[in-house]
């Protein structure tokens, strides 16, 4: 039995994670690229991926299968030198990963001007396959379904919206408008409309489950000595699981401005909790990463400077 509360909580979380189905492996590898590989020269040897994930129950066969799927989906690309394969994110994947990097590790500074972007896709000339692609891509960008064939978001980047329309080949068949609330005294309240169109209830339940799962661990980390005595490998495993679980929820978060979110929004509480756990683990887990990872140039170097500011804004945060 582990000797301190942190070790006990860590063991319980590791045991639970090892019971998750192998189907989550590609997503876990994607998290590894975003949290680790991008901050260390953007490339990793396939054998290093296995070395990092095998203690989590992900063997070499599962790693190879996951990387193959990610390559097929244009998420990673490889360079082969002799019998070794080295992987890095594709440019399109790097754009998405950096988007979530901003959401995960940095506080939101979004300012909302009160207007909405509306995308109307009900016009003629759009094929069924194109509609399905639009629905997938626009919802990924955070758009909610306001009405049939009408998507809306308060602050989705217009450049990313236009890129989606262009890739789907429907730029000339859709209508994109900016709209504002005519009179807040009439009709469905804006917050209630947002709750209905973006299914915030389900998202809140996911954040609540994340908080319930990790809060006991965060409380057990209040004694710094308990964390400092932990095995660097275990700290790395916990770090990657934490970001993996948090990132999977963020994939479904529409990134709405605070003015439109419920009071005491659980999404903010989840990010606070994630920061409180991640920061004490980071330097310890880095020792394990540097000892086990390499790319074409050799062993991983220290984290690139711009990644050293992850969760920097949470220096004074404490878990309730």
Q: What is the pLDDT of residues 33-57, one digit of tens each?
A: 999 999 998 999 999 999 999 998 8
| pTM, entire model | 0.88
Q: Is 215:319 a contact under the CB 8 Å cutoff?
A: yes
Question: For 106-121, how does the pLDDT look when each residue is reduced to its tens digit (9 = 90+)?
Answer: 987 767 888 889 999 8
- Size of the chain in residues: 320
What percent helix, strand, coil does the chain show, rounded to 5?
Answer: 60, 10, 30
Q: What is the pLDDT of residue 224?
A: 81
Question: For 140-154, how does the pLDDT look when each residue is reduced to its tens digit (9 = 90+)?
Answer: 888 999 888 899 998
What does CATH list as the number for 1-109+199-320? Answer: 1.10.10.10
Its CATH architecture, for the domain 115-180, is: 2-Layer Sandwich (3.30)
Question: For 283-292, how does the pLDDT look when each residue is reduced to its tens digit (9 = 90+)?
Answer: 999 999 999 9
Is residue 93's pLDDT more than 90? yes
Question: For 5-37, how does the pLDDT look when each residue is reduced to its tens digit (9 = 90+)?
Answer: 888 888 888 877 777 766 678 999 999 999 999
The CA dihedral of 27, 30, 31, 36, to the nearest 10 degrees, is 160
Name the residue ranges covered by the structural domains of the chain.
1-109+199-320, 115-180
């Amino acid at each position: 039995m582990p000797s301190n509360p942190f070790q006990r909580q860590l063991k319980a979380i590791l045991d639970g994670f090892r019971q998750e189905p192998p189907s989550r492996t590609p997503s876990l590898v994607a998290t590894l690229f975003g949290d680790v590989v991008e901050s260390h020269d953007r490339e990793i040897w396939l054998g290093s991926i296995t070395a990092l994930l095998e203690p989590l129950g992900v063997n070499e066969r599962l790693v190879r299968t996951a990387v193959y799927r990610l390559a097929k989906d244009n998420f990673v690309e490889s360079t082969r030198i002799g019998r070794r394969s080295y992987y890095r994110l594709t440019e399109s994947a790097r754009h998405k990963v950096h988007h979530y990097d901003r959401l995960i590790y940095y506080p939101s500074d979004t300012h909302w001007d009160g207007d909405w972007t509306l995308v109307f896709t009900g016009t003629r000339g759009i094929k069924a396959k194109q509609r399905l692609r639009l629905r997938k891509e626009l919802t990924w960008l955070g758009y909610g379904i306001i009405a049939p064939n009408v998507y809306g978001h308060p602050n989705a980047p217009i450049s990313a919206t236009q890129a989606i329309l262009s890739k789907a080949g429907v730029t000339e068949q859709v209508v994109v408008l900016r709209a504002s609330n005519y009179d807040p005294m009439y009709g469905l309240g804006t917050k209630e409309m947002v709750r209905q169109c973006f299914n915030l209830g389900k998202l809140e339940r996911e954040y609540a489950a994340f908080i319930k799962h990790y809060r006991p661990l965060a409380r057990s980390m209040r004694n710094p000595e308990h964390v400092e005595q932990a095995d660097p490998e275990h700290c790395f495993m916990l770090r990657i699981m934490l970001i993996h679980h948090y990132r999977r929820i963020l994939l479904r978060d529409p990134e709405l401005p605070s003015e439109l979110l419920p009071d005491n929004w659980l999404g903010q509480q989840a990010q606070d909790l994630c920061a409180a756990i991640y920061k004490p683990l980071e330097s310890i887990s880095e020792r394990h990463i540097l000892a086990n990872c390499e790319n074409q140039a050799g062993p991983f170097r220290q984290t690139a400077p711009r990644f050293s500011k992850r969760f920097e804004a949470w220096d004074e945060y404490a878990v309730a």
